[in-house]
Structure 1
Amino acid sequence: MKAFKIAVLPGDGIGPEVTKEAVKVLEAINQQNSTFAIEFKEFEWGSEYYLANGQMMPDDGLDQLKNFDAILFGAVGDKRVPDRVTIWELIMPIRKNFQQYVNMRPIKRLAGIESLLKNEQAIDFMVFRENAEGEYSNIGGRLYEQQSQEMAIQNTVITKQGVERIAKYAFEYAEKHNKSKVTSATKSNAIIHSMKLWDEVVESVAKDYGNIELESNFIDALAAYFVMRPESFEVVVASNLFGDILTDLGAALVGGMGMSPSGNINPEKEFPSMFEAIHGSAPDIAGKGIANPIAQIWSAALMLEHLGRPDLSVAIVKAIEQVIQERNVLTPDLGGTSTTQEVGSAIAEKVKHLV
């Protein structure tokens, strides 16, 4: 039996704390299930590495990572290092060079979680965010810095190929999971060039999936609909910035940032995909042992599904739900008093009985 090779990058802030618990859960499955084998190699790259070496990862960092089956990423961000360094010298090179052009983020209210909304209907949909271009393209610059006429230009890059492949991924996911509707986030009434191309390409792709409805909403209205009727969504497809904002809003509706996983996917599996919680490094609580590890553990579940073990992915989510419903071991953000380590251990114990 081939063991999955996983690169672990704990990163900054609470990243190492929550990643340790995700690894703990995966190791519990490794010990309990004879059909599953996994090997980890940890890379201590991040802000501490930068402060010691002047770079976020070694020159050959990508070469070291490219032969792994997947990457489990903790977090990036440290007040001692500028964001343009932490983001653009570590996480962005991985996403872009490894062609992780699909960012997937489940918006799902797990059993036992109370929503901030009065609406008690099920909230369970997937957001696919274009992850390689869009508003986060590093194209532009500054002119006349520190002068009264200073100006900045940041260009949005929308390509037919980029929109087509994320739209196809969203529709194929909908088809595979028996979903009846894909919702597209746009703003083509005001952003008349890039978003108009977005609309045209998404509509063209939708024609190949006649059994799936295409709903197109302007981003401002869509944000309101996330709050007013979240139960109406099944699959949402969005550009880089729109998807980023919408999923943070979605996270707030289903328990907060500590409950929201993500995957940066290279669908062709030519390169490893990367899985991470969306909460970031949370420096205000780093080192206190109170960070919620559920989002990172759930990200590990997404990783197993990507690696072809949806059965084990489902088992992890069930274990998370059981711990939440019992309400004996929860971190402060969920109304409990338990530590990061205690929650991780509780989920690891539950998963042993489910695999």
Structure 2
Amino acid sequence: MVIERLIRSDSTRIFFTRIGDDRRVPYEVALLPGDGIGPAVVDAALPVFEAVADRHGFTLETTVFDWGSERYHSKGTMMPDDGLDQLEGYDAILLGAVGDPSVPDHVTLNGLLIPIRKGFEQYVCKRPATLFAGIESPIQNHTDDIDFVVYRENTEGEYSDIGGREHRGTDAELAVQSAVFTRTGTERIVRQAFEAATAREGKLTSVTKSNAQAHGMVFWDDIVNEVHEEFPEVEVERLLVDAASMDLIRRPEAFDVLVASNLFGDILTDIGAVVSGGMGLAPSGNINPTMEYPSMFEPVHGSAPDIVGQEIANPIATVRSGAMLFEHLGESSAAETLRTVVENHLADAAAPRTPDLGGAASTTDVTEALEERIE
């Protein structure tokens, strides 16, 4: 089959179709390349996704939205006021990265990522950590046995924008930041994690700080106990976040599924990325399980301003995020192809690698090699 490409008049909308195809409605994917290395990894990964779509008989339609820190400098906001309305009709969103040293982090986070996560009820942040053959973990004596996934609550908890500051500039200045845990929000992420544990190895680790936070975190523990009654076959381990952080380094092979609040999940997944080979390999999905709204998929690594423009960013985290995107859309075979291609690429000592993995290859060197494996 031959893929035709049509650049629409606005130069942002690209339609991929197939001569003689089965007239399947294309998946519409919104692209938010964002800041830093985001545009580079998204641009490099797109041909890989096209190759997978061609191989598995579905079509893609993508639209680029140039929202991010540059827009903030020119227009005062990270995205337009009707940004969610513009995104709502898409099947999924692929994000490159958000963040720039010239804009405070709380502005970039609250100006783009959090409104999308909350507005589209993307309450599951799913972040797998897998140590692939051919990749060395910085943790000694762990070569091929790290394979776990973190279910992070993604719409409330410590990232709730509730609080304020008073008496600014005086000795009496104070700041109050409140974490919010609702029964609905806590129960649904915990249930998702139990379901994942049932489908995997039957072990769930719940991470809290109940000894210091006797309201929100003890409430979380109570919900875990309640939901556990529905999944009696699942073994539940309860760890404080400091102990969990230590054990992710000391015994990462012992974990299967972890569930944690917004802040704790964010911290634990960075540890998971590092112990399994590095931030350049770590994918992430901000998922609305009901599919009422689009879900958003993104690499964990962030905008990496220190390497912008050098063409050395590792695109594999973005490619793996694409695999999660396809899985979410029901294209399981395509997702499996991407996962297998990445696994085989990393296991091949002769395959090109970016500097973060000890190589000297460029971003596009890697994606071109992945595309060749698909074809």
TM-score over 0.5 for the pair: yes
Counterpart Cα distance in 1 of 2:200 and 2:163? 41
Instruction: State the match for 2:161 in structure 1.
Output: 138
- Structure 1 stretches of 4+ with a deviation exceeding 6 A read none
Q: What secondary structure is seen at the aligned counterpart in 2 of 1:156? A: strand
Instruction: State the match for 2:141 in structure 1.
Output: 119
Higher strand share: 2
The Cα offsets for residues 30-75 of structure 1, whole Å up to 9 and x where unpaired, read as 2333x22111111111111222222111221111100100000011
TM-score by structure 2 length? Answer: 0.91
Confirm or deny: 8 A CA contact 2:34 2:69 kept in the other structure: yes
Instruction: State the match for 2:49 in structure 1.
Output: 26
Are 1:128 and 2:129 matched, yes or no?
no
Structure with the greater relative contact order (CA < 8 A, sep ≥ 6): 1 or 2? 1
Q: What secondary structure is seen at the aligned counterpart in 2 of 1:236? A: strand
Confirm or deny: 8 A CA contact 1:21 1:297 kept in the other structure: no
Are 1:201 and 2:223 matched, yes or no?
yes
Once the two structures are TM-superposed, the CA of residue 178 in structure 1 deviates from its matched residue by 3.5
Confirm or deny: 8 A CA contact 2:132 2:347 kept in the other structure: no
The Cα offsets for residues 290-330 of structure 1, whole Å up to 9 and x where unpaired, read as 11111111001111111111221121111112222223300
Are 1:251 and 2:273 matched, yes or no?
yes
**Any gaps of 5 or more consecutive residues in structure 1?**
none
Alignment of 1:86-165 (within 5 A): 86-120=108-142, 121-165=144-188
Are 1:348 and 2:368 matched, yes or no?
no
Equivalent pairs counted in the alignment come to 350
Counterpart Cα distance in 1 of 2:201 and 2:49? 30
Instruction: State the match for 1:78 in structure 2.
Output: 100
Q: What secondary structure is seen at the aligned counterpart in 1 of 2:319? A: helix
Instruction: State the match for 2:20 in structure 1.
Output: none
Counterpart Cα distance in 2 of 1:295 and 1:246? 17
Alignment of 1:1-355 (within 5 A): 1-33=24-56, 35-120=57-142, 121-175=144-198, 177-327=199-349, 328-352=351-375
The Cα offsets for residues 239-271 of structure 1, whole Å up to 9 and x where unpaired, read as 001100111011110111111110000011100
* Partner amino acid, structure 2, of 1:157: V
Confirm or deny: 8 A CA contact 2:52 2:337 kept in the other structure: no
The Cα offsets for residues 101-152 of structure 1, whole Å up to 9 and x where unpaired, read as 0000001111211111112341001100000100111011111222222211
Confirm or deny: 8 A CA contact 2:52 2:338 kept in the other structure: no
TM-score by structure 1 length? Answer: 0.96
Counterpart Cα distance in 2 of 1:347 and 1:28? 10
**For residues 178 and 32 of structure 1, do their structure 2 counterparts lie closer, same or farther at Cα, with a shift above 3 Å needed?**
closer
The Cα offsets for residues 158-211 of structure 1, whole Å up to 9 and x where unpaired, read as 111111000111111222x24211110011112111100000001100110111
What is the identity percentage for the equivalent residue pairs of Structure 1 and Structure 2? 51
The Cα offsets for residues 60-95 of structure 1, whole Å up to 9 and x where unpaired, read as 111110010000001111122222221111111100
Aligned-pair Cα RMSD in Å: 1.1
Counterpart Cα distance in 1 of 2:126 and 2:243? 22
Counterpart Cα distance in 2 of 1:6 and 1:47? 21
Confirm or deny: 8 A CA contact 1:298 1:317 kept in the other structure: yes
Instruction: State the match for 2:4 in structure 1.
Output: none
Counterpart Cα distance in 1 of 2:181 and 2:80? 31
Q: What secondary structure is seen at the aligned counterpart in 2 of 1:165? A: helix
